Chains A and B, each alone.
Chain A
Amino acid sequence: MIKDTSRRNFLKGAGATALSAGVLPFLKVLPAAAAGKDVIVSVTGRTINSLDLHRTGTNRPSYQVAVNVYDRLVSFGTKTLEDGSLSYDYSVIEPEAAESWEISDDGMALVFKLRPEGKFHDGSPIIAQDVKWSFDRAVSVGGFPTVQMKAGSLESPEQFEVVDDYTFKINLLRQSKLTLPDLAVPVPMIINSKVAMEHATEDDPWAMEYLHKTPAGSGAFKVAAWKPGEQLVYERNEAWTSGPVPEIKRVVIREIPSSSTRRALLERGDVDLSFDMPNKDAKELSEFEDITVTTTPVENAIYCLCPNLSFEPFKDKRVRQAIAWAVPYEEVFQTSAYGRGAPMWGGSSTTPQDIAWPQKFPYATDLEKAKALLEEAGYGDGFEVPLSIDLSQSDWMEPAALLIQENLAKIGITATIEKIPGANWRTASLVEKRLPLHLETFGGWLNYPCYYFFWAYQEGHLFNSSNYRNEEIETLTPETLHMPVDDPDYAVKIKRMIEIAWDEVPRIALWQPAVNVGTRDVDGYEYWFHRQLDARGLKKA
């Protein structure tokens, strides 16, 4: 087990693999900043609670282990954004453990050729049986991995076929543009099935207990030490076969719960990277010369104000529109997000020009218009409504709710702020969908507007916390979900869907959130849709 690395084992392991004896004393006495060009110390506020993404209860911060320690068949490309920072590129699919792939003539199968030189960390070859076992596991264990696989129409083990040791075939249930990108998300990681099966038991056929603490992958890094609640140490895989070996030998992920402490550490130069900084720190630190703050808007994500259509005044579209006209967008954005992210208000036309998503909603702050709409709907005297927020996200929800409450009062709506404990939030807002007016934060991993609509606008789906139902959306969403983007019908239908979403506003867009990462003399930070640190491309400037 990795967690209780004793000093002796640690030294032994280090000597055998990455750290030469000469590096170690120097590592022991010098501060991180001076620890040479091959060690990066990163701080984060969240705990990594498992090394196995497929396990029940594995939290988001743990997904980075799947990214750094495991390979997938394919990966996304990299692009440079306007501000010069790096981002993954969802329009380009690149080989990772697979060398190449092709679509069968009838279009109903994907055939992957694995790299013949592909090796796991233990030196054994990556073969199609491993891929099949890993995919079987992802669709069988239930919970999040199974749901995510399903999004790519990967639903049952029968779909996965071993043709020969280095050829793996996926039989498709339907032709969908989501299948290939879904193979590049962290979930379908390739596990060393020989190692895993040695530790599988009758009660635990998928070796959940073993892989939870001991990864068996082929990725660019190995886990050198893991102490939940304290730190995780990655060590470079010198023999990585699925990509160029990382420049950094070791990456230390240290958990520091207090954001002010994280900030002090970065300012003092004792750490190289601070991941997912609060917006306030990002804004203030971006004025420092030797600290680079990279702020990347999260693709396919919007922070929303959601009126719930199960409750009376919100059944009327004009009431929802009135609220959309009443929100003090600019103030909310500046106060809650310190201006980090992208505005989602003030669009010029009520019909979208392109299929970009998210794009600016055609609303702005106009209290007169809001009052007129309320009057028209017969609520000229206003009404009372609770405005619910999540206590665990109170950093941005509370200021936003207070500002919204203030403006709603101006049009006669009395909103009382109701704070819901974090443990109860998902149940109340998403599962039971019983909050009349609330804030919501959905973001889709697969960057297509139809995917967002599938989760957030279709009736009964998890993130449709407004209980919204529109017949056209109900037909258009499933139609567009698997349709190729270059199909001429696609843009027409998506534009129509956006138009409806704007007109009926079951979700009032506030702004597009951003991920802030502060670095000191570190290059190669790349934004990923999974919003976790990809350590593979990092280098010291």
Chain B
Amino acid sequence: MSGTLRTVIVRLSQAIPVILGVVVVSFVLTRALPGDPAVYFAGMAADENSIAETRTALGLDKPMAQQFLVYAGDVLAGDLGQSLSTGQPVLQDLMTRLPASLELTLTALVLSCLIAIPLGILAATRPGSVADHLCRVLVTAGVSLPTFFTGVVLIYVFYYLLGVAPSPVGRLDFIYIEPDRITGFYLIDAALVGDWETWGAAAKQLILPAITLSLFTLAPLARMTRAAMLSALSSDYIRTARAAGLTESKVLYAYAFRNALLPVVTTLGMVFSFTLGANVLVEKVFAWPGIGSYAVEALVVSDYAAVQGFVLAMALLFVALNLIIDLTYTLIDPRIGFETR
């Protein structure tokens, strides 16, 4: 156990230069973008004076190096600055929007794992069967249908035509009041205070966007499960296990699947990190107040602080995610030990 703890500490300390690099790069890159936030935020009828005033108010009249020092100092103090486009502190924006994105992405991933992994196993054990073909169709569809398209179609069918889905207005319908903030995840917060009515409403709002996203994330997972299972099933140890007369389910789940799980977990991590930042279109279609649309809107108007905050938050998240995935490896395959390296 102490070995694991040491691994965690070593890995976290290794992440420090990465984070420092991210801080510098995001600062430089945002300033390299075309666009002048002072002009943009000076408003409609701004003249040169008011643009200059805005520039001073934003601290953009100072030399770059000085701006960076100010920024770095603020970040160390836990202040990510003020977003111009939302008018809120960036930290607060991230705290409200990150849980929204995470709630959606995690639900979608759970959903797609529940479908993709059994489907992948089924397809691998019975190649050429109906299940295999179904898997192929789903994978192709998932990859080739853009998420905003699936989203709009789902809204059209289930909300507009059939009227069974709730109105796609974000995390909660207007008639509900958001649960007291504990974690920022509406499902968890509502469950913690036992407000099942709000929980149900939040869950209902989640269904369509989660299905949309999971259709998209399902493809790589199912494909990877199938491929990994196929290669595991054709390996020597499976033949040995079969020869030794083990039951088919023991062979399949205890030997083949456990070995096939490593690449699947790797893919899962990649898909998760990718979806979290890239589900802008789903967020837009379902008015989901997530982090993807936040970042894109900030980029469009050169909202430096918000972009930098987003990049930093994502970097931290990925460091944590990689760590969790590495630790999961050791659980799945005890031969992998990081402390020995």
In the complex, A257→B43 CA distance in Å? 21
Which A residues, 226 to 263, have Cβ-Cβ distances below 8 Å to chain B?
227-231, 252, 254-258, 260-261
Binds B, one of A4-12, A288-296, A303-311, A316-324: A4-12
Residue B156 lies at the interface, judged by CB distance under 8 Å to chain A: yes
Which of B46, B169, B302 touches A423 (beta carbons < 8 Å)?
B302
Q: Mark A1-32, 1 if CB is under 8 A from B, else 0.
A: 00111111010000000000000000111111
Give chain B residues whose Cβ lies under 8 Å from the Cβ of A43. Answer: 169
- Within the complex, what minimum Cβ distance (angstroms) separates A3 from chain B? 8
Give chain B residues whose Cβ lies under 8 Å from the Cβ of A455. Answer: 45
Is A427 touching B88 in the complex (CB atoms < 8 A)?
A: no
- Within the complex, what minimum Cβ distance (angstroms) separates A413 from chain B? 27
In the complex, A32→B172 CA distance in Å? 13
Q: Mark B88-99, 1 if CB is under 8 A from A, else 0.
A: 100001001100
User: Provided the pairs A229-B294, A462-B45 are in contact, do residues A47 and B86 lie with their beta carbons within 8 angstroms?
Assistant: yes
Q: Mark B235-270, 1 if CB is under 8 A from A, else 0.
A: 000000000000000000000000000000000000
Give chain A residues whose Cβ lies under 8 Å from the Cβ of B159. Answer: 264, 268
Residue A91 lies at the interface, judged by CB distance under 8 Å to chain B: no
Residue A467 lies at the interface, judged by CB distance under 8 Å to chain B: no
Closest-by-CB residue of B relative to A47 is B86
Residue A426 lies at the interface, judged by CB distance under 8 Å to chain B: yes
Give chain A residues whose Cβ lies under 8 Å from the Cβ of B42. Answer: 56, 143-144
Residue B12 lies at the interface, judged by CB distance under 8 Å to chain A: no
Residue A516 lies at the interface, judged by CB distance under 8 Å to chain B: no
- Within the complex, what minimum Cβ distance (angstroms) separates A7 from chain B? 5
Closest-by-CB residue of A relative to B88 is A228
Is A261 touching B39 in the complex (CB atoms < 8 A)?
A: no
In the complex, A430→B163 CA distance in Å? 47
Give chain B residues whose Cβ lies under 8 Å from the Cβ of A57. Answer: 41, 54, 58, 84-85, 87
In the complex, A250→B104 CA distance in Å? 30
Give chain B residues whose Cβ lies under 8 Å from the Cβ of A62. Answer: 87
Residue B285 lies at the interface, judged by CB distance under 8 Å to chain A: yes
Most chain B CB inside 10 Å of its own CB: which residue of A57, A264, A426:
A57
Residue A129 lies at the interface, judged by CB distance under 8 Å to chain B: no
Is A143 touching B175 in the complex (CB atoms < 8 A)?
A: no
Which of B33, B46, B283, B293 touches A144 (beta carbons < 8 Å)?
B46
In the complex, A47→B297 CA distance in Å? 10
Residue A93 lies at the interface, judged by CB distance under 8 Å to chain B: no
Most chain A CB inside 10 Å of its own CB: which residue of B41, B152, B174:
B174
In the complex, A533→B65 CA distance in Å? 43
Is B53 touching A142 in the complex (CB atoms < 8 A)?
A: yes
Residue B155 lies at the interface, judged by CB distance under 8 Å to chain A: yes
Is B35 touching A255 in the complex (CB atoms < 8 A)?
A: no
User: Provided the pairs A32-B175, A252-B174, A261-B285 are in contact, do residues A268 and B36 lie with their beta carbons within 8 angstroms?
Assistant: no
Is B167 touching A423 in the complex (CB atoms < 8 A)?
A: no
Is B287 touching A258 in the complex (CB atoms < 8 A)?
A: yes
- Within the complex, what minimum Cβ distance (angstroms) separates A535 from chain B? 15
Is A7 touching B300 in the complex (CB atoms < 8 A)?
A: no
In the complex, A54→B152 CA distance in Å? 38
User: Provided the pairs A212-B87, A422-B301, A423-B300 are in contact, do residues A264 and B33 lie with their beta carbons within 8 angstroms?
Assistant: no
Give chain A residues whose Cβ lies under 8 Å from the Cβ of B48. Answer: 431
In the complex, A337→B152 CA distance in Å? 24
Give chain A residues whose Cβ lies under 8 Å from the Cβ of B54. Answer: 56-57, 142-143
Which of A5, A27, A151, A230 touches B289 (beta carbons < 8 Å)?
A230
Is A56 touching B57 in the complex (CB atoms < 8 A)?
A: yes
Residue A466 lies at the interface, judged by CB distance under 8 Å to chain B: no
- Within the complex, what minimum Cβ distance (angstroms) separates B146 from chain A? 14
Give chain A residues whose Cβ lies under 8 Å from the Cβ of B77. Answer: none
Residue B40 lies at the interface, judged by CB distance under 8 Å to chain A: yes
In the complex, A55→B35 CA distance in Å? 21
Which of B34, B41, B45, B301 touches A147 (beta carbons < 8 Å)?
B45
In the complex, A246→B282 CA distance in Å? 37
Is B39 touching A148 in the complex (CB atoms < 8 A)?
A: no
Give chain A residues whose Cβ lies under 8 Å from the Cβ of B47. Answer: 147, 461-462
Is B33 touching A423 in the complex (CB atoms < 8 A)?
A: yes
Residue B179 lies at the interface, judged by CB distance under 8 Å to chain A: yes
- Within the complex, what minimum Cβ distance (angstroms) separates A15 from chain B? 13
Is A29 touching B163 in the complex (CB atoms < 8 A)?
A: no
User: Provided the pairs A144-B45, A261-B287, A264-B168 are in contact, do residues A424 and B35 lie with their beta carbons within 8 angstroms?
Assistant: yes
User: Provided the pairs A49-B87, A423-B301 are in contact, do residues A268 and B39 lie with their beta carbons within 8 angstroms?
Assistant: no
Residue A334 lies at the interface, judged by CB distance under 8 Å to chain B: no
In the complex, A169→B85 CA distance in Å? 36
Closest-by-CB residue of B relative to A4 is B181
Residue B177 lies at the interface, judged by CB distance under 8 Å to chain A: yes
Interface residues on A, range: 35 or more
In the complex, A264→B160 CA distance in Å? 6
In the complex, A41→B46 CA distance in Å? 33
Give chain B residues whose Cβ lies under 8 Å from the Cβ of A151. Answer: 45
Residue B170 lies at the interface, judged by CB distance under 8 Å to chain A: yes
Is A258 touching B284 in the complex (CB atoms < 8 A)?
A: yes
Which of B35, B87, B178 touches A427 (beta carbons < 8 Å)?
B35
Residue B74 lies at the interface, judged by CB distance under 8 Å to chain A: no
User: Provided the pairs A28-B176, A29-B175 are in contact, do residues A427 and B57 lie with their beta carbons within 8 angstroms?
Assistant: no
Closest-by-CB residue of B relative to A26 is B175
Give chain A residues whose Cβ lies under 8 Å from the Cβ of B33. Answer: 423
In the complex, A55→B159 CA distance in Å? 40
Residue B81 lies at the interface, judged by CB distance under 8 Å to chain A: no
Which of B57, B88, B156, B175 touches A28 (beta carbons < 8 Å)?
B175
- Within the complex, what minimum Cβ distance (angstroms) separates B302 from chain A? 4
Give chain B residues whose Cβ lies under 8 Å from the Cβ of A260. Answer: 152, 155, 285
Give chain A residues whose Cβ lies under 8 Å from the Cβ of B299. Answer: 423
Residue B186 lies at the interface, judged by CB distance under 8 Å to chain A: no
Residue A421 lies at the interface, judged by CB distance under 8 Å to chain B: yes
Which B residues, 147 to 177, have Cβ-Cβ distances below 8 Å to chain A?
152, 155-156, 159-160, 163, 167-171, 173-177
In the complex, A254→B87 CA distance in Å? 17
In the complex, A27→B300 CA distance in Å? 37
In the complex, A255→B170 CA distance in Å? 9
Give chain A residues whose Cβ lies under 8 Å from the Cβ of B40. Answer: 423, 426-427
Is B160 touching A228 in the complex (CB atoms < 8 A)?
A: no
In the complex, A427→B3 CA distance in Å? 57
Closest-by-CB residue of A relative to B197 is A28
Q: Mark A262-294, 1 if CB is under 8 A from B, else 0.
A: 001101101100000000000000000000000
In the complex, A335→B286 CA distance in Å? 28
Which A residues, 32 to 58, have Cβ-Cβ distances below 8 Å to chain B?
32, 35, 41, 43, 47, 49-50, 55-58
In the complex, A461→B84 CA distance in Å? 26
- Within the complex, what minimum Cβ distance (angstroms) separates B183 from chain A? 14
Residue A349 lies at the interface, judged by CB distance under 8 Å to chain B: no
In the complex, A147→B174 CA distance in Å? 37
- Within the complex, what minimum Cβ distance (angstroms) separates B191 from chain A? 15
User: Provided the pairs A229-B294, A392-B300 are in contact, do residues A261 and B155 lie with their beta carbons within 8 angstroms?
Assistant: yes
Residue B311 lies at the interface, judged by CB distance under 8 Å to chain A: no
Residue A496 lies at the interface, judged by CB distance under 8 Å to chain B: no
In the complex, A427→B51 CA distance in Å? 10
Please give me the 7 A-B residue pairs with the lowest Cβ-Cβ distance, nearest first. A423-B35, A144-B43, A142-B53, A49-B87, A423-B302, A424-B34, A57-B84
Query: What are 26 A-B pairs with beta-carbon distances under 8 A?
Result: A3-B88, A5-B177, A10-B177, A31-B175, A32-B175, A57-B54, A58-B87, A60-B44, A143-B46, A143-B53, A146-B53, A147-B47, A229-B97, A229-B289, A254-B174, A258-B285, A258-B286, A260-B285, A421-B35, A421-B300, A422-B35, A423-B34, A423-B300, A423-B302, A427-B35, A462-B47
Apart from A229-B86, A254-B170, A423-B40: 7 A-B pairs, beta carbons within 8 A = A143-B54, A144-B44, A147-B45, A254-B169, A255-B287, A426-B36, A431-B36
